[in-house]
């Protein structure tokens, strides 16, 4: 029983970190400040209530469409921000792709120009 105080402290810290790092819009039951106060005042009971009733479930969290092929696979990666407006995101990613292609073409043109200037056989 000597470690019971340490166990309470660990539960309190984990619950508080989880509450603080959770997005306000995903918290259920009461506001974030209410959950923090509940866990501070009643550490064990508050933490258990947070886990049971306040914490967002997997259904509450936004996620990518599974199995769907993206139009921009080079930008798909775990942890990527999920856009609020998918159409605006699609337009932005298309602009990025176009700009990257333009930069590649400019680099190719510069490399060809440099090779022509330095290669004496190319002039004849």
What tens digit of pLDDT does each residue of 11-49 get? 889 999 999 988 888 888 899 999 999 999 988 899 989
Closest CA to 95 of 114, 72, 116: 72
Per-residue pLDDT band at 59 (split at 50, 70, 90): low
Give the model's pLDDT for residue 67.
Answer: 46
In the predicted model, what is the mean pLDDT of residues 58-84?
61
- The Cα diameter of the chain in Å comes to 92
pLDDT of 101 over the 60 cut: yes
**What does 32-70 look like in DSSP terms, one character per residue?**
HHHHHHHHHHSHHHHHHHIIIIISPPTTTS--PPTTPPP
Instruction: Give the three-state DSSP class for 95.
Output: helix
């Amino acid at each position: 029983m000597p470690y019971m105080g340490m166990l309470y402290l660990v539960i309190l810290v984990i619950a508080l970190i989880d509450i603080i790092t959770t997005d306000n819009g995903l918290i259920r039951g009461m506001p974030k400040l209410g959950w923090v106060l509940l866990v501070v005042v009643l550490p064990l009971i508050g933490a258990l209530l947070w886990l049971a009733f306040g914490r967002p479930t997997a259904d509450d969290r936004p996620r990518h469409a599974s199995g769907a092929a993206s139009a921009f696979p080079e930008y798909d990666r775990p942890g990527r921000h999920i856009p609020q407006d998918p159409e605006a995101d699609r337009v932005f990613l298309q602009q990025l792709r176009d700009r990257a292609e333009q930069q590649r073409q400019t680099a190719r043109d510069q490399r060809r120009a440099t090779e022509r200037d330095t290669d004496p056989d190319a002039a004849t």
